[in-house]
């Protein structure tokens, strides 16, 4: 008889890093609560002291805190990177979910979590990497926009793609309307990607 590896049944231990309101974090919390994702968010970390994602985490009983990434403005590096690593190890995180985390993750963290760091990007990569990509899409005049969940590598929005979801661009769209429509799909895409990653890790 085949022995069942106990670890296969264990929830995925996810750390969420974010800089903003945390609606993607909420979608993962909801997927766990409704039983469609076998996971636990072990900690939430934000580089923005008053980011709503921290409050959201605390409200949901998740250890959640601000950890400064200063003195850098756009990357997680040096002592700050070390502080993040210590927090991630303290909670024995297996997978890192970047959910609106507005910093470039550097080699030390990538090497500590190979193929275990995901990001969500509000465009259909490889189109429109970087910031405000829904605005880029609207300015360009594409008729289909969307979101991408991908592995994080050393580039900016360049890692291999796990899930994409598309939305139409409407004639009277504003950047805000389009971003809201994309976010509805993001909230399905992240739990989907985590189910896929869980299957890869556990099976
Ligand atoms: C999302 O649109 C995500 O694609 C981008 O930042 C936004 C974060 O939103 N990377 P939230 O904080 O999860 O609500």
Would you say 19 and 84 are in contact if contact means Cβ atoms under 8 Å apart?
Answer: no
Average pLDDT over residues 117-145: 97
What is the C-alpha to C-alpha distance for residues 191 and 32, in angstroms, rounded to an integer? Answer: 9
Other Cβ atoms less than 10 A from the Cβ of 65: the count is 13
pLDDT at 9: 86
The residue whose CB lies within 8 Å of the most ligand 1 atoms, and thus the one to mutate among 23, 44, 177, is 23
Residue 186, Cβ neighbours under 10 Å: how many? 23
Which atom of ligand 1 lies nearest, measured to the CA of 120?
4
Indicate if ligand 1 lies below 6 Å from the C-beta of 183. yes
Query: For ligand 1, is residue 121 a contact (CB within 6 Å)?
Result: yes
pLDDT beyond 70 at 3: no
Q: Which atom of ligand 1 is nearest to the CA of 186?
A: 4
Q: Write the pLDDT tens digit of every residue in 30-89.
A: 999 999 999 999 999 999 999 999 999 999 999 999 999 999 999 999 999 999 999 999
Distance 63 CA to ligand 1 centre (A): 20
Please check whether residue 9 is in contact with residue 91, taking contact to mean a CB–CB distance below 8 angstroms.
no
Domains and CATH numbers, the chain: 12-202 (3.40.50.170)
Per residue in 171-202, pLDDT tens?
999 999 999 999 999 999 999 999 999 999 99
Q: Is 57 in the pocket of ligand 1 (CB under 6 A)?
A: no
More reliable by pLDDT, 203 or 50: 50
Query: Catalytic amino acids?
Result: 121
pLDDT, average across residues 127-147: 97
pTM for the model:
0.95
Residue located nearest, by CA, to atom 9 of ligand 1: 100
22: left (phi over 0), alpha (psi -120 to 50) or beta: left
16, 23, 24: which to mutate for ligand 1, most atoms within 8 A of CB? 24
What is the distance in A from the centroid of ligand 1 to the CA of 86? 25
């Amino acid at each position: 008889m085949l022995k069942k590896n106990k670890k296969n049944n264990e929830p995925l231990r996810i750390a969420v890093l974010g800089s903003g309101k945390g609606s993607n974090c909420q979608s993962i919390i909801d997927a766990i609560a409704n039983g469609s994702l076998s996971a636990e968010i072990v900690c939430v970390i934000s580089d923005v002291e008053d980011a709503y994602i921290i409050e959201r985490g605390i409200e949901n009983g998740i250890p959640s805190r601000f950890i400064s990434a200063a003195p850098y403005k756009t990357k997680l590096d040096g002592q700050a990177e070390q502080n993040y690593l210590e927090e991630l190890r303290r909670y024995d995180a297996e997978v890192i979910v970047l959910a609106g985390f507005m910093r470039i993750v550097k080699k030390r963290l990538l090497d500590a979590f190979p193929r275990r760091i995901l990001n969500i990007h509000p465009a259909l990569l490889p189109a429109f990497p970087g910031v405000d990509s829904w605005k880029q899409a609207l300015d360009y005049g594409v008729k289909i926009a969307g979101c991408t969940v991908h592995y994080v590598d050393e580039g900016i929005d360049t890692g291999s793609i796990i899930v994409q979801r598309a939305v139409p661009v409407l004639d009277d769209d504003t950047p805000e309307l389009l971003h809201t429509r994309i976010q509805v799909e993001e909230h399905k895409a992240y739990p989907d990607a985590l189910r896929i990653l869980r299957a890869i890790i556990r099976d």
